[in-house]
Structures are given as structure tokens and as C-alpha cells.
Amino acid sequence: MDRVLSNKKAILFFTLPALLWYAVIVLLPVFISFYYSLLDWDGVGKGVFVGLENYVTMFRDDDIFRQSLWNSIVLAILSVFVQLPISLVLALFLASNVKGNRFYRTVYFIPVVMSTVVIGQLWMKIYHPSFGLLNGVLGSLGLEAWKGEWLGNPKTALLATFIPIVWQFIGYHMLLLFAAAKSIPEDLYEAARIDGATGVKSSLYITIPLIKPMLKLSTIFAVIGSLKTFDFIYVLTNGGPMHATEVPSTWMFSNIFKQYQYGYGSSLAIIIILECLLFTVMIQKMFKTD
């Protein structure tokens, strides 16, 4: 094995096809999108080169873009401080060899493999102001004043779209963290029990520090998923009401396929990529250890 790993020609031979394929399906489209972002182009005729004008207009004049950027950051923050803690608690609970953990793992993971469009339609029925489950439950509990148009109210729409995202992907992060927790040697827990450590202390001082790399990965996945979310927003609100749930991806879609501003839409795509890269680097630095 050492001889193979030390052979740079062999490494290049086996990795080159994957690198070429990655360049074709990932890097090349990014560079093409960046080129389009420098044009004033409707997608049909000849584009006019405008340089960085699309980016200047985006940050200087586009209030909807600034709102969408803020919404994506809010979703990312909620994912880190709401979604991941719930996933971590569930993972630690199941990793403690609770009875029926296989059943619970399956139940929690089912939403992950479901179609996002199906889940969006399901939650639209739950949020429906007239016959929705949520308002029905509130009415049966005598909380008529709490009933509302959850997706039609700009004050509640963004939070209402976040809840289905949490519901679908909690099981995904839970399974990642559960696998990391189960990989910890049992000897460490036995030594902790001998020293009088309880289950909570074992989780705080053994499990969580040792699954820190997986926590970092889950944080990156959660943040990037929130920054580039599209399908849930598109199905539930299409960016409304009054752009209250608009995110960069839905605003990009609207510019490209509804307003036929391919150049401006491409610049939005580049901003989404840069946003994801920026937050990834920030998370890497936050989790960096000596």
C-alpha cells in the first residue's frame, strides 16, 4: 500500500478521470455562469458586456436581493441553533442503546427520503387558514386568537417555511451524529462510569468532544443547505408574501426564467456560490483546533 501511495504517477492515473469529470460538471458551469454575469443578456440575443455592473446594481439598487440575502442568513442561523441541537440530542439519546433505537432511526430518517415537493404540499395543507391542521388544533384548544394565515402573513411566513426544513432534515443530521457517536470505543465510557460520570457528563465530556469533526460537517451541511434552499420556498410561498420569504435562489429563478435577465440571474448564482464558500471557511475556522 505504501508503494502505491508513494507512486505519484499511479495516484494521478486513478484520480485524473474523477478530477476531469468534476471539472466538467462543476467548475466549468461556474466559470460559464461568471462569464454570463458580466453580460446584459436576455438568453436569446447577443449579450452586451457590462463588466461588474450587475453586481453593483445588485448591492446598490436591488432591495429584494438584500432582503433575500438576509432571509438566507436567518435560515442558516436557525439551522445551526435549532436544527442541529435537536439532531444532536436525538443522536445522543439513540446512541445510549435505548430500546427500539432502530425503529426510531428509521422513523426520523423517513422525511429525508421523501420528495420535497410532497412535503411542501403536506405542510401547505397543515398551514391552510381555513381547514389546516394547525389552525384546527389551535381552535380545538380554545386558542382562536392564535390562529392565522401562517404562509400569507409576512411576519410569520419565513418561520413557517423553516419548520418543514427542520422537520425533513433533522433525521439526516441525527444519523450522521449517531454514527459518529457509535464509533467511540466503549472502553472510554466504562472508564468514565468507574470514575462516577453520569450519562449526561459522559455526553458532555466524552461524546461531544470526540464527534466534533462530524459536528463541523453537519454544521457546514446545514448552513449551505439553508443558503441555497429553493424547493421548499418555491412550493410553499414562491418567495412571498411581499418577498418576505425570498431567498437568493428564488430571486435568481425569477430573474432568469420570468424576467429573462440571464446576466443578472447569473450574477445572483455567483453570489450564492461565494456566500456558501464564505460561510464554509468561517465554520472551518470556528472548529479549528490545535
pLDDT score for 14: 83
- Is 71 a residue whose pLDDT tops 60? yes
Distances (CA, A) of 59 to 37, 62, 67, 255, 272: 14, 6, 11, 15, 13
Give the burial string for 21-38 (b: 16+ CB within 10 Å, else e).
eeeeeeeeeeeebeebbb
Q: Average pLDDT of the chain?
A: 89
Domains of the chain with CATH codes: 1-26 (no CATH), 38-286 (1.10.3720.10)
Q: Which residues contact 53 (CB under 8 A, 6 or more apart)?
A: 40
Query: Residue 266's pLDDT band (boundaries 50, 70, 90)?
Result: very high
Residue 251 pLDDT exceeds 90: yes
Q: How confident is the model at residue 212 (pLDDT cuts 50, 70, 90)?
A: very high
- What pLDDT score does 3 carry? 61
Q: Give per-residue pLDDT as tens, 223-237.
A: 999 998 998 899 999
Highest averaged pLDDT of the listed ranges 92-96, 105-109, 176-180: 176-180
- What's the average model confidence in pLDDT over 21-35? 92
Instruction: Quick: pLDDT tens for 145-192.
Output: 889 999 999 999 999 999 998 899 999 999 999 999 999 888 888 887
